Amino acid sequence: MKAIAALIASLMLISSTVADVINVPEDYPTIQGAIDAASDGDEILVAPGTYTSTHPAHVVDLKGKAIILESSGTPEETIIDGENERRGIACFNGETDATIIRGLTIANGLGIYYDYNGDGKPNFGEGSGGGIYCLQSTPTITDCIISSNTTESYGGGVYCHQSNARITYCMMTDNTSESKGGGIYCHQSNATISNCVVSANSVYGDGGGIGCYQSSPTIDSCTIAYNKDLGNGYRGGGIFCFYLSSPTISNCIIKNNRVERHGGGICCILLSSPVITNCTIASNTSTLFNGGGIYCYNDSNPIIMDCNITDNIAEEQGGGIYSYDSTLTITNCTISRNTSRKGDNFGAGGLYEEQNGEFVLSGTKVCSNIPNQIGGTWIDKGGNEVLDVCTTCDGDATGDFFVDVNDVLYVLSAWGSDDVNADFDENGLVDVDDVLILLSQFGETCSGEAGQ
């Protein structure tokens, strides 16, 4: 009898720990009601539809639970809607990576001030994160669309404060910040952002796509494109790194971002030294001042390897890269077809250094920049080519003199546009014919043509 009783007790224990699947709206009409009822390990399965709330600050509070919140349909048809009155999702109770948000659209959120830490007064960051707010929490956010969210503070799409959130396979688009970080803002956070598209986000301050303060996120295999300022933007159209922010940026396409002042593609200020590897930084613009592709200021010393920096424009100095009191180590890169509109050999279309700045180059091609290639101090570590004219061949969309997978990715990112770098047959449209031309040249090396 004792053995039977023990067996029954064991079976009861096992049954009590089996995760439940909670369906919304079948089991609970609201997502928050399902979360309130859930236990660690449960899965909340949300049917297609639009879900909102009457809470003053958010639609959904994950309440620190290790649960899966996901759609039973597609992200496009399963929407958490802030109705432009409240943010979409709040994580402020120590959520870990076992808290998973998957397959949802978070839209029309508003980052409104709310006393999340319960101290009776508004604190820094409590008005941030129009779409998703992460305070001292590390949720996993995957396969989501985060769009059309707004904040008067930081992080129009996602705000991370002392948070190492994992953001993967997401699309962040059309979000707006009136301060910093149109798409994502990391404050004292080392988030992971991978395989994401961060596009068409806007900012009135710094960091149209991604903004960082005392943060070193990992940004891998992302497209960061068409992010912009809204007429009063200062720095970092694509990525903004400020004060001890040294992210790892790898395998990314950073293109067509725009800012008024400094760093159309990437801006690094005050002891911020990212490692940038195997990236294409193309067609970014600084409309008033310096650093169309990359801008570095005040002892910010990035390492840049295996990158293509092309077709960027600065109104003044440094069409490709600008350095002020910073040392940039550049290895195996191509810096081509960048423009400084200042002209008269003053601005240096490729690389421009001033006030104790320095470029350390090895295995790098600098060519076809307007009005000239390099202005200021640079150290030649060998294997470099500095040419007035460089030529490319059909299929070489990135301008690195070699037709490879990076060109395939570039063409796909330009699909349906009139991007002259990917429109190999020059018919005004990037389409399947251009892919066929690229494939016919795949693996080929282009030759450079020396100038004076």
CATH of the domain at 408: 1.10.1330.10
What predicted TM-score, i.e. pTM, was given to this entire model?
Answer: 0.87
What pLDDT is stored for residue 262 in this prediction?
A: 93
Whether 240 is covered by a domain: the verdict is: no
Radius of gyration for the chain, computed over Cα atoms and rounded to the nearest angstrom: 24
What pLDDT is stored for residue 233 in this prediction?
A: 59
Q: Residue 448 is which amino acid?
A: G
Whether 311 is covered by a domain: the verdict is: no
- Residue 452, pLDDT above cutoff 60: no
Burial 376-414 (b: 16+ CB within 10 A, else e): bebeeeeebbbbeebebeebbbbbbbbbbebbbbbbebb
- For residue 438, the enclosing domain spans 393-452
Whether 426 is covered by a domain: the verdict is: yes
Whether 138 is covered by a domain: the verdict is: no
Q: Residue 351 is which amino acid?
A: L
Whether 336 is covered by a domain: the verdict is: no
Tens digit of each residue's pLDDT (9 = 90 or more) over 394-437: 888 877 778 888 889 888 888 998 887 788 888 889 999 989 88
- Residue 4, pLDDT above cutoff 70: no
The strand ranges marked E within 214-346 are 218-220, 223-225, 228-229, 239-242, 248-250, 253-255, 258-259, 266-269, 275-277, 280-282, 285-286, 294-297, 303-305, 308-310, 313-314, 321-324, 327-331, 334-336, 339-340
Supply 60's token pair.
Answer: 């959904």
C-alpha 107: how far from chain center: 18
Grade residue 232 by pLDDT with cuts at 50, 70 and 90. Answer: low
Spell out the residues 6+ positions from residue 210 whose beta carbon is closer than 8 angstroms to its own. 181, 183, 184, 185, 186, 193, 198, 217, 219, 224, 238, 239, 240
Whether 127 is covered by a domain: the verdict is: no
Task: Count the residues in the chain.
Answer: 452
Whether 45 is covered by a domain: the verdict is: no
What pLDDT is stored for residue 6 in this prediction?
A: 56
What pLDDT is stored for residue 344 in this prediction?
A: 57
How many domains would you assign to the chain? 1
Residues 184-209: what's their mean pLDDT? 97
Average pLDDT, the chain: 91
Task: Round to whole Å and give the CA distance between 80 and 311.
Answer: 39
Whether 419 is covered by a domain: the verdict is: yes
Task: Round to whole Å and give the CA distance between 410 and 386.
Answer: 25
